[in-house]
Amino acid sequence: MDQSLKSPPLSALDDAFHAMVALSRGAPPPDLAIRRARLQRLRDLLAANEARFVAAISSDFGHRADVETTIAETLFLLTEIKHTIKQLARWMAPRRIATALQFWPARNRLIPQPLGVVGIIAPWNYPLQLTLAPAIGAIAAGNLVMIKPSELTPRFAALLRELIAGTFAPTELVITGIEDGIAQAFAQLPFDHLVFTGSTRVGRIVAEAAAKNLTPVTLELGGKSPVIIDASANLDQAAQRIAYAKLLNAGQTCIAPDYVLVPEPQRDAFAGLVRNHMLAMFGSNPANADYTSIISDRHYARLEGLANDAASKDAKLLQPDTPANPDRRRLRKFPPTVVVGATSEMAIMQEEIFGPLLPVMAYRERSEAINYINAHDRPLALYWFGTDQIARDEVLARTVAGGVTVNDCLLHFAQINQPMGGVGASGTGAYHGQWGFDTFSKLKPVFYRSPLNRMTDLYPPYGAKIARIEKLLRWMS
């Protein structure tokens, strides 16, 4: 588009991007000290402004339990930065790679290099964690970074923008605006790598825009993450762990357990136990400050629609009161709801729930549960509860998911040395810890030829000498 025809936010976006590209191509890559200093500045900024982030996010949600912001967002990021600063020298060092015999005594090295300019598009549900966690890996790898936060968390986005602008040069790390049109324009910029976290629907649009520039993407998407309760499971303990994971952030968690498959004879007992644990944790008062609000009236209405649709198709809803309760509606505190007897005809089993409703479905044979999962999109997370190791290993071997926690939910995500990412419709690529550093680096293979080796001197005219080398190579192959 002609520059003069662009609105001020779009031309500012373009200018910021091109300044970064120019710097990434024109200056040497940042050394260890510069990268560490950038990460430390980010850490200091987070530590000094934790209370402001907690307040801004809560006000964007209507209400967000403070501890959910500190544990799942600020502390998560502080830990990730500390780990990255500590490990960075090791990650940046050239990696020794074995050299095949015919090239001896030459050397191979894999050299990590910054890709250049990395773009990050973030969702609203953990707005701080999901804007900055990919940025930590990208900065560590020596890149310049642009981030577009979600328009559904405007107070948070304004705060982050102000703080980052006061701490980083605009060519190091920049937070864009969230005005109309920015998201689409951002996805069209020819980044050296683009990270998108959000819905599978928008992920497709972003991947298409990136493909036009041959920009590689990391897509952190959503979907329906199943839980399998094995007949060998401790039902009460499983119910408690699942209830907590479902209600954290009021179910607005990408790796929340979406639905549960339970052996038929245990279905009703399990559903009752989950309901009891939900009540014990969050009570029935909508004003409970531990319980987080749904992000918008539109999302609240969508969840209400899912509950009504399930009830109209004969599911039994276990809930403390109804979503139509005016206090709940005003505060957007959707009642924790167990949906007993969910079936695949119900809308709740056809889309990602992303709210505090837990469908419980019965299965008869283990293979029935596995086949159900495999008949749907590859999930972002899968959870299995039980003590029967043969059953567990069969589920692990026969299902493909972004990540798995055995005998709990969510915790694989907190493993700093494990990659986080989906598979198929739940995502592409992964980051966190060294996995993030590697994702945002070009791992460049370099071969250092040895003057002592003449086996690669294959110059014509071909004759007896080359025939001898060929014979030797044939013997080695």
Residue ranges binding ligand NAD (CB under 6 A): 121-125, 130, 148, 150-151, 183-184, 187, 197-199, 202, 205-206, 220-222, 254, 352, 354, 380, 422, 427
Nearer to ligand NAD, 267 or 332 (CB): 332
Neighbours of 459 (CB within 10 A): 8
Q: Is 409 one of the annotated active-site residues of the chain?
A: no
Distance CA(409)–CA(412), nearest Å, equals: 8
164 CB-contact burial (10 Å; exposed 0-12 / middle 13-18 / buried 19+): buried
Q: Which CB atom, from 80 or from 352, has the smaller least distance to ligand NAD?
A: 352
Q: How far is the CB of 155 from ligand NAD (least distance, A)?
A: 15
Dist CA 243 CA 276 (whole Å): 9
Smallest separation, CB 151 to ligand NAD (Å) = 5
To ligand NAD, the closest distance from the beta carbon of 457 in angstroms equals 51
Q: Which is nearer to ligand NAD, 61 or 363 (CB)?
A: 61
Task: Considering the complex, state which of residue 123 and residue 177 has its C-beta at the smaller distance from ligand NAD.
Answer: 123
Measured from the CB of residue 187, what is the shortest distance to ligand NAD in angstroms?
A: 4
The span from the CA of 317 to the CA of 350, in Å, is 18
Q: Considering only CA atoms, which of 310, 336, 340 is closest in space to residue 325?
A: 336
Residue 228: closest CA among 344, 343, 399 = 399
E strand or H helix that includes residue 358: strand 357-363
- The residue among 128 and 362 lying less far from ligand NAD, judged by its C-beta, is 128
Chain residue whose CB lies nearest ligand NAD: 222
Using CA atoms, how far apart are residues 151 and 474, in angstroms rounded to an integer?
Answer: 62
Tokens representing residue 136 in the block: 């930590």
**146, 16 Cβ separation under 8 angstroms:** yes
For 154, other C-beta atoms within 10 Å of its C-beta total 15
- Cα–Cα distance, 161 to 429 (Å, whole number): 27
Nearer to ligand NAD by Cβ, of 213 and 232: the residue is 213
Q: Is 220 a catalytic residue?
A: yes
**Residue in 80, 254, 304, 352 annotated catalytic:** 254
**Alpha-carbon span 150 to 182, nearest angstrom:** 10
- Catalytic residue, from 220, 304, 352, 409: name it: 220
Residue with tokens 């964690």: 129
Q: Which is nearer to ligand NAD, 129 or 434 (CB)?
A: 129
Cβ(282)–Cβ(335) below 8 Å: no
DSSP assignment of 219-266 equals EE-----EEEE-TTS-HHHHHHHHHHHHHGGGG--TTS--EEEEEGGG
Closest approach of ligand NAD to the CB of residue 129, in Å: 9
Q: How far is the CB of 382 from ligand NAD (least distance, A)?
A: 14
Contact indicator for 270, 308 with CB cutoff of 8 Å? no
Active site residues: 220, 254
